[in-house]
Structure 1
Amino acid sequence: MPVREHTGRGSREEAHAVKRWRALAVLGTAQFLMVLDTSVMNVSISRLVEDFHTEVTSIQAVITLYTLVMAAFMITGGKLGDMTGRRRAFAIGLAVYGAGSALTALAPALWVLTVGWSVIEGLGATLVLPALAALVAGAYRGRERAVAYGVIGGLAGAGIAVGPLIGGWVTTYLTWRLVFAAEAVMVVAMLACVRWIPDSPPPRTRPRLDMVGMALSAAGLALVVLGVLQSGAWGWLRPRRVPFTVLGYSPTFFVIAAGGVLLWLFRAWERRREAHGRDPLVRFSLFGIPPLRAGLSMLLAQNLILLGLFFTVPLYLQIVQGFNAFQTGLRLLPTSVTMLVSALSGPALGRIAGPRTIVRCGLAVLLVATLWLISAIRPDIDNLSFGAAMAVLGLGMGLLASQLGNVTQSSVGEAERGEAGGLQYTAQNLGSSLGTALIGSLLIGALVSVFTTRIEGDPRISDAVRRETGVAVEAGVSFVSTTQVKNATERSGLSPQETDAVVDAYTSAQIESLKAAVLATSGITLVGFAFTRRLPTARLTATAGQGAAP
């Protein structure tokens, strides 16, 4: 009898454990989809250009608009989750996102793609992601919460790394439309399982949405992100390909400054509302919580580094090495695998070290990975060395991902988790935008500098060709293959000797600029150590959090 009772009790506990983790399956799948989406779109640019008979710049504008929508309305999405109930906001966001995916899969024209992907999916994600962060915090406690955030963080990184592999294969051998059709089907399946997620009810007294604050925050964040994203095309000061100029200068700085002014007005407006006892969109007093402030800073830095590298590395693989999208995805796979494994190990490490120590170890591993990657970038790729560097990169990113989401949400109370989720994903979107724009701008700057220096110092090149090259560089430079450079020089009538000299100079400039971009991420990693000082030091105890939240 005692044995049977023990066995029955064990079975009930196992069944309860399975039930408890079903919620994470839904939330983790949603996180993976949100990240996968952008990765797939990025590797499908060339096919989208063909299918819609348009230009690369048009598709890039569609991608930019998606980022702007995400950045502009993420804080508002978090607040709406607090007002209506987070599970309801999550479900509504999923439904909107699924509708956008279905429209994108069927899009007959570019404007329909823009509405479906950039606008509808983007708005759906702004409801899903803040609610997701708060729902994880509400569903789990202590060690289980750390495990849950490790899974969420690992899946986010896996989506970034696996996206090019999945998107590249489907785009190359089938059609990109299948990815979005599959997303719509998965959304329907997740909606059927939403009831598995424990919910926190909305407040009894429903607060009013701060429309002025929403407009100020959305416009301010959108302008800042737009300026940063377009800096590579517009130029920071000297205008390149710009829609307009301001006093003869590029609009980049002025657009970012205008966004900064609006965000300052947003802060002043929110403090005024709070002082008068009215519900603000964001309680700026939250930034007075040191762990939250440190967590948000590190999330921004993490995404800046990750997206900076995932902008640079595919250029090396596709432009320099000539790999297609699928081959590129295969070489990024080690990052995805090790990041997921590393993120899942966070809770076990949490028993022997606090979040600050684990994050600092992650930054140290990242520093090693970026320095190793610099040595692995060469004209003839060493697949073993490159793959190992990418695997180490995933280890470092996974250690950060295992801690930062948990730190951010655990720093605030139940009532503030929606706001914290909005701030969390706003920080991540800003980091992603900054990573792509700043690292891309630095890469192009280094390419121009090295190429010009090599041209100037090569005796095989005549003064006339140097002048012509200087004029071409001033008009704007793109990161293109050496084959394209060779064809261009041959069409311009250069001698074989001068053609070889220009191609050699450009080949050298390619490698050096890629190394400079990765070195910049090493520098950002070092700076990241300064923001870890306020991270928590307490370890997870054996008794902390024995189950799901009620």
Structure 2
Amino acid sequence: MRSWSVIIILAVSQFVMVLDSTVMNVSISVVADDLGTSITGMQAAITFYALTMAAFMLTGGKLGDLMGRARAFKIGAVIYGIGSLTTALSPNLTVLLIGWSLVEGLGAVLVIPAIASLAAINYTGKARVTAFSILGAVTGLAAAIGPLLGGVMTTYLSWRYVFVAETVVMVAVLFAAKLIHDVPRDRNVRIDPLSVVASAGGLALIVYGVLQSKTWGWLKPQHPPEIGGDQIAPLGVSPVAYLLLLGVVVLWLFVVRQRALADSGRQPLLRVELFRIAPLRSGLGGFLAQYFAIAALFFVVPVYLQTMLGRDALQTGVKILPLSVGLVLFSILGSWLTARRSARFIARGGQITMALGTLLVIASVGTDLRSAVFAAGMFVVGAGFGLLASQLGNVNMSAVEEKDTSEVGGLQGTFQNLGSSFGTAVAGSVFLLMLSSGFVSAVNDTENLPAADQQQIISTVDAAGVPIISADEARTLVLDAGGSPESAQAVSQAYADSQIAALQQALFVVFGLLVLALLFSRHLPSRIPEPGPDDRTVTSGPPATTNGS
């Protein structure tokens, strides 16, 4: 019975990994209110959760090789369970950042690579294909029911119960993990601490810079940080530009370090020569783009629905459901098409489909997201995601030799979560920045609102940060500042229009990236080798977990 027991254990763990992020996204405004923080604070938490996994996924894979995959899986389950419990008990944003963004993220970097490795170790031939198909189905199922489950729990009970349940599940997984078969660990694996610090530091600098762009500005300083009353903007340039530049330099030094380690006969954290493989580059680029798009949609759409339109978590989950349905159905269709069409044809079709779906979503924004066009757009985005998910994991694994599959699995996780963190950070920051400028313009352009009242309203909002408020709240602000009902209505209407423009501009960033990804996908293979009956190479895999998605 071990054959079925192992895949059940791994599938349950996979389900939890996917469910976790979807709950936080549909509950974003409720969690923010509960913890006494803002939407920007929640944006940081979601971004850093994905960033933690992106920064340490390669290290987690190496640790699995060093200590054994089963042991890494168990240790990761313990860390993840502790993080989930800490998240459930979070009294404020700081504890949430520690419990969810950091501790859970570190647990996931051990669990996620181990799931794929242990599936490959415990199953061979057709049984392995079946095992990965089960993991893929579970991923789709979690993505489909996650928004609804999170919406129901948040609306009728509390978002905290989801994380309590995750803790209980990980305890059960830990006890059941003794049934998992493993191979001897590789005692020759070495991890270079300097490489770990450089990769994590470079990515953190870039992502943090993007996150702060909505407040500090990209090049021209807007509201830069202050020390002793003096603004920090060297040479009149926003700190964001310096953070991005420094991050790129640190990542370049990381690459130099990897090449030096390889040339000296030592083990690099990342074999950079893998990027010379054209199909692998295209596959990893596809991963980054598709998860950027999903993470962006799963952040800006719930924020708009909940904060601007006043929808609750359950209504938000229902609105997102068409995307999940499209993902599941077209993952199955993509797998069926594999024997009939090339991976390039299916994957490029998925990229085009996601881009078209994003255009439909953009077109529906002016209808308060109530029209059938929005539902159709979300379904089409999910359909494109499903087609890509059915191909890219297989493309990446098949592009390298068997000995490199573990490292490529780590790269997949890195690019997936890097896409998720950038999606939340970039599209979210564009959205919030446009909201801020839109509100200021709405107040300043109201002709019958005295200048003193305009300044008072803007100062009140600036003191609280980026104005993530509804049009009705904007009306109340004007009235509280002594403005007339006519002025309040004018500001409210102008701000409502700017909210629509902000969402459209943020989503257009997603559309633009999907188009660029299509241009760089020409090296996707037309044919992938079929697995033999005892082929030890992983030739089929599940869609990777959807974080921030």
Say if 2:457 and 2:477, in contact at 8 Å, map to a contact too: no
Find 1:478's aligned residue among 467, 470, 476.
Answer: 467
Q: Measure, in 2, the Cα distance between the counterparts of 1:23 and 1:323.
A: 41
- Aligned 8 A contact 2:435 2:467 in 1: no
The reply on whether 1:432 has 2:429 as its aligned counterpart is no
Measure, in 1, the Cα distance between the counterparts of 2:158 and 2:535. Answer: 41
Report how far residue 534 of structure 1 moved: 1.2
* Aligned counterpart, 1:352: 340
Candidates 314, 320, 328, aligned match of 2:308 = 320
Mapped pair 1:86 → 2:69: yes
Q: 1:227 to 1:24 in 2, by over 3 A?
A: farther
Q: How does 1:118-517 map to 2 (within 5 A)?
A: 118-136=101-119, 152=135, 155-156=138-139, 159=142, 162-194=145-177, 199-203=182-186, 205-237=187-219, 238-240=221-223, 242=225, 245-247=232-234, 248-447=236-435, 477-517=466-506
How much has 1:111 moved relative to structure 2? 5.7
Check the 8 A contact 1:149/1:405 in 2, yes or no: no
Counterpart contact for 2:125–2:536, Cα < 8 Å = no
**In the superposition, relative to structure 1, how do residues 63 and 405 fare at CA in structure 2: closer, same or farther (>3 Å)?**
same
Q: 1:279 to 1:477 in 2, by over 3 A?
A: closer
- How many angstroms apart in 1 are the aligned matches of 2:360 and 2:120? 36
Could you give the per-residue CA deviations for residues 178-230 of structure 1, whole angstroms, max 9, x where no partner exists?
A: 21221122223333444665644333x52222122222222222222222233
Contact 2:10/2:115 (8 A) holds in 1:
yes
Q: CA deviation at 1:160?
A: 5.2
Name the stretch that deviates more: 422-431 or 40-49: 40-49
Which of 514, 526, 533 is 2:522 aligned to?
Answer: 533
Residues 36 and 92 of structure 2 are in contact (CA less than 8 Å); yes or no, is this contact kept in structure 1?
Answer: no
CA deviations on 1:1-31 (whole Å, 9 max, x unpaired) are xxxxxxxxxxxxxx9xxx7565444333323
Counterparts of 2:429 and 2:91 in 1: how far apart (Å)? 34
Q: Deviations over 1:485-507 (max 9, x none)?
A: 00011112222222222111111
Q: RMSD value over aligned CA atoms?
A: 3.3
| Aligned equivalents of 1:113, 1:375: Cα separation in 2 | 35
How far 1:370 moved relative to its partner? 1.2
Q: How high is the TM-score relative to the length of structure 2? A: 0.85
Which amino acid counterpart does residue 78 of structure 2 have in structure 1? A
- Counterpart residue identity of residue 467, structure 2: S
The percentage of counterpart residues that share the same residue type is 44
Q: Residues of 1 paired with 2:526 and 2:26: CA distance?
A: 40
Q: Distance in 2 between matches of 1:345 and 1:336?
A: 14
228-237 vs 240-249, which moves further: 240-249
Q: Which has the larger radius of gyration?
A: 1
Count, aligned residues: 530
Amino acid at match of 2:518: F
* 1:445-474 deviation digits (Å, cap 9, x = unpaired): 444566666777776667777777787898
User: Residues 335 and 61 from structure 1, CA distance in 2 versus in 1: closer, same or farther, beyond 3 angstroms?
Assistant: closer
**1:88 Cα offset (Å):** 2.8
Whole-Å separation in 2 of the counterparts to 1:528 and 1:144: 34
1:329 Cα deviation from its structure 2 partner: 0.7
Q: Which residue of 1 aligns with 2:546?
A: none
Listed as ranges, the gaps of 5+ residues in structure 1 are 1-14
Distance of 1:479 and 1:281 partners within structure 2: 41
**Aligned twin of 1:36:** 19
- 1:157 is displaced (CA, Å) by 6.0
The within-5 A match list for 1:12-51 is 23-48=6-31
Q: Is the 8 A contact 2:296 2:423 kept in 1?
A: yes
Distance 1:206 1:293, change over 3 A: same
Structure 2 match to 1:4: none
After superposition, the C-alpha distances for 1:249-303 in whole angstroms (9 at most, x for unaligned) are 4322222222222221111111111111111111111111212211111111111
Q: Is the 8 A contact 2:64 2:71 kept in 1?
A: yes
Which deviates further from its counterpart, 406-415 or 428-437?
Answer: 406-415
TM-score by length of 1: 0.85
Which residue of structure 1 aligns with residue 60 of structure 2? 77
Measured against aligned partners, the alpha-carbon deviations of 1:21-53 in whole angstroms (never above 9, x if no partner) come to: 654443333233223223323444555556556
Are 1:96 and 2:61 counterparts? no
**Which residue of structure 2 lines up, in the alignment, with residue 7 of structure 1?**
none
Letter in 2 for 1:533: R
Q: Which runs of 5+ in 2 are unaligned?
A: 538-549
Contact 1:20/1:548 (<8 A) preserved? no
Which whole-Å CA distance do the structure 2 matches of 1:107 and 1:123 have between them?
Answer: 18
Q: Name the aligned partner's letter for residue 525 of structure 2.
A: P
**Secondary structure in 2 aligned to 1:532?**
coil
Matched, 1:523 2:504: no
**Conserved in 1, the CA contact under 8 Å of 2:29 and 2:306?**
no
**What is the identity, as a one-letter code, of the residue corresponding to 1:384?**
A
Aligned to 2:540: none
Taking the aligned partners of 2:505 and 2:246, their CA distance within structure 1 comes to 30
- Specify the code of the residue in structure 2 equivalent to 1:130: P
